[in-house]
């Protein structure tokens, strides 16, 4: 909730917004008086983010943009006050025709539907957005027309650091829970913390926590020093998200059958960790980014 609103949306407005847009949104978003959501993914478009079907057409008479389309799996979607929305503004194929807009969620024609039945993240509103002749002024355009894909990618690069940090939190919580339970649970006359195979599970979690944290700290340090960080962010996001899944799964194994019921937290940790390998770029997309950066081979 926080990383999407403050990271993907607010930081992007701070980087790309006009002075009018900054005055309108930054105070409210940074104070927590408003929430933002990031409208990129569509029902038929996930990893192929440059192939959007949502369209924003310029109305020559008024200069407004009229937007039609749909967005899917939008974090904060039903709670947000503003959507950082990406739509195609011309017929240029691929990412070159994409632009970014700031669309207040009370704009006529914008409807939102909560997505139910999620495996995890049940405390966070995930939504589908439908845009039916949504009219916004030209001043809603964020950055230059046609630069939306670049804006989205720059936002996601920093967002991946936030996802990695969240994954460190999941893995640390799994470690804390596993260590505490292993010290309390007794089998064969002593706590299960005495058994080497349980210690192996805990040691694997501990190493994953430290490695994920260090990779995430490296990205933060690169950003603070104004250095290139996109590939490091992909490495941190890839490793930390997979580590969070492994850590939660190993913790559940330490708990045994009790890990499979809601009385203990590790089942929730595993359910929440699983989506981390999917959003803000799947693990497979991160591997492509890293591989291309290491080899110098272009995307096409």
pLDDT band at 8 (very low <50, low <70, confident <90, very high): very high
User: What does the alpha-carbon distance between residue 41 and residue 86 come to, in Å, rounded to a whole number?
Assistant: 9
Report residue 262 as tokens: 């809601």
Q: What is the number of other CB atoms lying within 10 angstroms of the CB of residue 203? A: 13
Taking residues 270-299, what's their average pLDDT?
92
What confidence tens digit (pLDDT) does each residue in 148-188 have? 999 999 999 989 999 999 999 999 999 999 999 999 999 99
CATH number of the domain to which 33 belongs: 2.40.110.10
- Please name which of 152, 163, 135, 151 lies closest in space to residue 65, comparing C-alpha atoms: 135
Residues 165 and 245 in one domain: yes
- The proportion of the chain whose per-residue pLDDT surpasses 70, expressed as a percent, equals 99
Residue 280 among the catalytic residues: yes
pLDDT one-digit tens code per residue, 255-267: 999 999 999 999 9
For 30-87, the pLDDT digits (tens) are 999 999 999 999 998 878 777 899 999 999 888 899 999 999 999 999 999 999 999 9
Rounded (10°) angle between helices 266-274 and 230-255:
150
34 and 118 fall within a common domain: yes
SS3 59: coil
* Same domain (yes/no): 129, 250: no
Could you say which of 186, 200, 280, 294 is catalytic? 280
Phi-psi region of 70 (alpha: psi -120 to 50; beta: other; left: phi over 0): beta
Structure tokens, 96: 């070159």
Helix (H) or strand (E) holding 148, with range, is helix 148-184
| SS3 of residue 98 by DSSP | strand
Buried b (16+ CB within 10 A) or exposed e, 213-230: bebbebbbebbeeeeebb
**Mean pLDDT value of segment 12-27:** 97
**Is residue 283 one of the residues assigned to a domain?**
yes
Q: Write down the pLDDT at residue 204.
A: 98
**Residue 10 is part of which domain span?**
2-146
Classify residue 284: in a domain, yes or no.
yes
Q: Is the pLDDT of residue 300 over 90?
A: no
> Is the pTM value of this prediction over 0.85?
yes
Tell me the C-alpha distance between 177 and 187, whole Å: 18
Structure token pair of residue 241: 């998200």
The span from the CA of 40 to the CA of 62, in Å, is 26
In the predicted model, what is the mean pLDDT of the chain?
A: 94
Q: Are residues 183 and 48 in the same domain?
A: no
- 170 and 81 inside one domain: no
User: CA-based Rg of the chain, rounded to a whole angstrom?
Assistant: 21
- pLDDT band with cut points at 50, 70 and 90 for residue 291: very high
Q: Do 86 and 222 fall into the same domain?
A: no
Place of tokens 């994954």: 167
* 95 lies in the same domain as 181: no
Domain match, 156 and 127 both: no
Q: Are residues 7 and 132 in the same domain?
A: yes
Looking at 93, 119, 146, the residue that finishes a domain is: 146
Q: How far is it, in rounded angstroms, from Cα 48 to Cα 38?
A: 16
Tokens read off for 65: 């943009």
pLDDT at 62: 84
- Is the separation of the CB atoms in 134 and 103 below 8 Å? yes
pLDDT confidence of residue 52: 92
pLDDT range class, residue 299, cuts 50, 70, 90: low
Query: What's the Cα-to-Cα distance from 154 to each of 78, 151, 212, 280, rounded to whole Å?
Result: 25, 5, 22, 12
Distance (Å, rounded) from C-alpha 239 to C-alpha 213? 10
* Last residue in a domain, options 119, 146, 173: 146
Name the domain boundary from 86, 112, 146: 146
- Flag whether 300 is in a domain: no
The CATH number assigned to the domain holding 185 equals 1.20.140.10
Can you read off the two tokens belonging to residue 155? 């936002």
Q: Are residues 107 and 169 in the same domain?
A: no
d(CA 75, CA 60): 33
CA 278 from centroid of its chain's CA atoms: 9
Q: Are 205 and 181 in contact (CB under 8 A)?
A: no
Is 41 within the bounds of a domain? yes
Closest CA relative to residue 216, chosen from 234, 196, 236, 187: 236
């Amino acid at each position: 909730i926080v990383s999407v609103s403050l990271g993907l949306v607010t930081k992007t407005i701070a980087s790309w917004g006009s002075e009018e847009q900054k005055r309108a949104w930054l105070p409210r978003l940074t104070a927590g008086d408003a929430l933002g959501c990031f409208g990129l993914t569509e029902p038929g478009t996930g990893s192929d983010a440059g192939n959007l079907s949502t369209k924003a057409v310029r109305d020559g008479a008024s200069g407004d943009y009229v937007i039609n389309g749909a967005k899917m799996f939008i974090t904060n979607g039903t709670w947000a006050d503003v959507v950082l929305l990406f739509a195609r503004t011309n017929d240029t194929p691929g990412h070159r025709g994409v632009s970014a807009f700031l669309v207040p969620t009370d704009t006529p024609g914008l409807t939102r539907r909560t997505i139910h039945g999620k495996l995890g993240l049940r405390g966070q509103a995930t939504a589908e957005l439908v845009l039916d002749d949504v009219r916004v002024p030209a001043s809603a355009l964020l950055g230059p027309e046609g630069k939306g894909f670049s804006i989205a990618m720059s936002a996601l690069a920093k967002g991946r650091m936030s996802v990695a940090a969240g994954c460190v939190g999941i893995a640390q919580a799994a470690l804390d829970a596993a260590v505490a339970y292993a010290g309390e649970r007794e089998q064969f006359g002593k706590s299960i913390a005495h058994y080497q195979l349980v210690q192996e599970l805990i040691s694997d979690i501990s190493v994953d926590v430290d490695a994920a944290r260090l990779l995430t700290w490296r990205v933060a340090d690169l950003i603070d020093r104004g250095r290139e960080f996109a590939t490091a962010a992909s490495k941190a996001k890839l490793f930390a998200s997979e580590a969070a899944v492994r850590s939660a799964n190993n913790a559940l194994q330490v708990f045994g059958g009790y890990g499979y019921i809601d009385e203990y937290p590790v089942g929730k940790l595993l359910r929440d960790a699983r989506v981390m390998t999917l959003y803000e770029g799947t693990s497979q997309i991160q591997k492509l980014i890293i591989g291309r950066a290491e080899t110098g081979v272009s995307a096409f």
